[in-house]
Chain A
Amino acid sequence: MVEILKKYRPALVLLLLFILIPITIGRTTDVHNVIIYILIYAMVGEAWNLISGFTGQTSFGHAAYFGIGAYTSTVLLEYYHITPWIGMLVGGVIAAALAFVVYFNMFKLKGHYFAIATLCVAEIMKTIFSKWTWVGAGDGIALTPITGLIPGVGKSAVAKLAWLSLDVRNRLPFLYTTLAMFVLVFIICAALENSRIGFYWKAIRESHEVAESIGINPRNYKLLAMCISAFIAAIGGTFFAQFFKYIDAITVFPMSVSMIFVLVTVLGGLGNVYGPIIGAVIYYSLDLIMRRLTGGSGSGLDQIVFGALIVLVTCTEPRGIMGIVERIQEKLHGKKKGGEA
């Protein structure tokens, strides 16, 4: 236990910052919004990292699962008055089931072909949902405030808390709920990385032949990675819908959304549990700073700076910022320990 805490010390420091900043130096709605964004995209980034970072199967279509999560919980809440706490689980199961069906045979595809296939899946979802009248077609769905939706919801204190914590108008509780969910996702991903499954994923990433030679069925483990990944991405989608209070196909299914998950993770560190959160923090801090510098308008300057940063980081260190950090650590360690190793 102590060993684990020691190993994940940076995570604890990060967690402390995420807890303290919203109630100290960042007590504005603007900062709270940015932090919520960071947490949601980092959460889906963690999901993407499982299949693409650890297992090495590049997905350019994680918006598909993100969107399914957003739509499922929203439809359940709006049409059937079911809490998003349940909605996110249902969305997760649907997303995982879709991933299973789609990729059951598609993992025969290698490299670029697989990546293109994932992209197509998301595009198909986008088209379906923008034409499907039951889910609002092109107009999308706007979320009614929960208190207005179900009059009796505030009866028991527990029920109230459960509802309210996922109602973004209570911004700070929503932020902390999102943080708690991110922490859970982070722990799950870290635990997976350190388990047999994580070892097998990495072996598959590095060589299918080696994997097979030591008794690993690559298809099954890729499928497992994809399903878990889709489940988590869908939960991120629910949080996004609850946060944004409005969804349509163009907002949750486009390639630009898929690319955010890719970019934050690649920037932060591909195949590293810290990657998505570090990448998301940098992406959105940059966004915030640029907006303040340019006086609020989306000037596109942040995009240019971010693009340049991605190019710079990936060219010098393919393992992203965490890769650079590890390299520095190894150097320091090597100097300190000398010939001990």
Chain B
Amino acid sequence: MAELLKIEHITKKFGNLVANEDVSFSVGENEIVSLIGPNGAGKTTLFNSIAGYYPPTEGKVYFQGQDITGKPAYDICKMGITRTFQVVKTLKEMTVEENVMTGAFLHTGSRRQAKKDAEGILEMTGLLDKRNVKGGSLTIIDKKRVEIARAMATRPKLLMLDECMAGLNQTEIKDVMNLCVKLKEEGLSLLIVEHIMEAIMPISDRIVVLNAGKKIAEGLPEEIVNNEEVIRAYLGDRYNAESKKS
């Protein structure tokens, strides 16, 4: 499988705090890789380093073989990486459709074309009936949908989703899972940060586990759930508890 994204020895420090330490992994073309780990493990920080929100303190980020370390976020997006935000950032004064159109404008200067592109994505994300609602007055679930839809509209090669399922109910999680699979079928690669194991296990091709800034494991989903260190650091109570519940 051809490598799409490759990060090498990423370290990110905030003053004395080491948020990421020597993290390396890659995402192949048409692959879903999930990044898991307890709160504060450094997942969002890693997203920010990859997507260009700040440069990593050390290490390199390659996309399609090209060194993109430290490039600004808007350039990285143009190259084909789009991320969503863990704390949703809906454009409040704009309607749902306008939110998505803003993303679609990356590939067209025509308003009509952007509207058309947005329409398809709104349908795929189940937002079509709310297209004229202002972003600010949406429920959290719809805000998350808009977040994904807007990112999809930029037609990325790699879509990075930061905890977009947190706070959703079972059906809604199922919707997002289906969406991820559909996107993969369309040829995208996904890098997903998620806590909900039931949701990511079935759809992930590979899983990377972070703990306290370090990568402690990487492998197929079934390898990860049986990994001693992962269970100790993270899955232990959580996965057992949640699988009992469901």
Q: Determine whether the beta carbon of A209 is less than 8 Å from that of B85.
A: yes
Stretch at the interface among B59-67, B76-84, B176-184, B206-214: B76-84
Q: Determine whether the beta carbon of A214 is less than 8 Å from that of B102.
A: yes
A196-B105 contact in complex given A212-B73, A214-B150, A341-B129, C-beta closer than 8 Å: yes
- Interface residues of chain A: helix, strand, loop or mixed (majority): helix
Contacts of A205 in B (CB 8 A): 93
Q: Which residue of B lies closest to A209 (CB)?
A: B89
Interface hits, A231-289 → B, CB 8 Å? 271
Q: Which residue of A lies closest to B48 (CB)?
A: A209
Q: Which residue of B lies closest to A207 (CB)?
A: B89
A216 lies within 8 A of chain B by Cβ: yes
Q: Determine whether the beta carbon of A214 is less than 8 Å from that of B103.
A: yes
Residue in B52, B73, B111 whose beta carbon sits within 8 Å of that of A196 in the complex: B111
Q: Determine whether the beta carbon of B105 is less than 8 Å from that of A199.
A: yes
A217 lies within 8 A of chain B by Cβ: yes
Q: Determine whether the beta carbon of B102 is less than 8 Å from that of A217.
A: no
For this complex, into which size category does the number of interface residues on chain B fall?
Answer: 35 or more
A213-B105 contact in complex given A196-B111, A203-B91, A206-B93, C-beta closer than 8 Å: no
The answer for the CA separation of A205 and B94 in the assembled complex, in Å, is 11
A213-B82 contact in complex given A196-B109, A200-B102, A341-B129, C-beta closer than 8 Å: yes
Q: Determine whether the beta carbon of B91 is less than 8 Å from that of A213.
A: no
The answer for the CA separation of A218 and B108 in the assembled complex, in Å, is 18
| Least CB distance, B87 to chain A, in whole angstroms | 10
A195 lies within 8 A of chain B by Cβ: yes
Q: Determine whether the beta carbon of B72 is less than 8 Å from that of A217.
A: yes
Q: Determine whether the beta carbon of A217 is less than 8 Å from that of B74.
A: yes
Q: Determine whether the beta carbon of A206 is less than 8 Å from that of B114.
A: no
B234 lies within 8 A of chain A by Cβ: no
Q: Determine whether the beta carbon of A202 is less than 8 Å from that of B91.
A: yes
B53 lies within 8 A of chain A by Cβ: yes
| Least CB distance, B208 to chain A, in whole angstroms | 22
The answer for the CA separation of A211 and B108 in the assembled complex, in Å, is 16
Contacts of B98 in A (CB 8 A): 199, 202
Q: Which residue of A lies closest to B98 (CB)?
A: A199
| Least CB distance, A254 to chain B, in whole angstroms | 32
The answer for the CA separation of A215 and B91 in the assembled complex, in Å, is 15
The answer for the CA separation of A214 and B160 in the assembled complex, in Å, is 12
| Least CB distance, A173 to chain B, in whole angstroms | 37
Interface hits, B118-150 → A, CB 8 Å? 129, 132-133, 150
Contacts of B106 in A (CB 8 A): 214-215
The answer for the CA separation of A213 and B154 in the assembled complex, in Å, is 9
Q: Determine whether the beta carbon of A213 is less than 8 Å from that of B85.
A: yes
Contacts of A207 in B (CB 8 A): 89, 91
| Least CB distance, B144 to chain A, in whole angstroms | 14
A202-B89 contact in complex given A209-B53, A215-B74, A215-B154, C-beta closer than 8 Å: no
Residue in B51, B93, B132 whose beta carbon sits within 8 Å of that of A213 in the complex: B51
9 further interface pairs, Cβ-Cβ under 8 Å (given A205-B93, A214-B106, A214-B154) = A196-B114, A199-B105, A202-B91, A202-B98, A209-B89, A213-B151, A214-B103, A214-B150, A341-B132
Query: What is the interface of chain B, defined by CB distance below 8 A to chain A?
Result: 51-53, 72-75, 77-78, 82-85, 89, 91-94, 98, 101-103, 105-106, 108-109, 111, 114, 129, 132-133, 150-151, 153-154
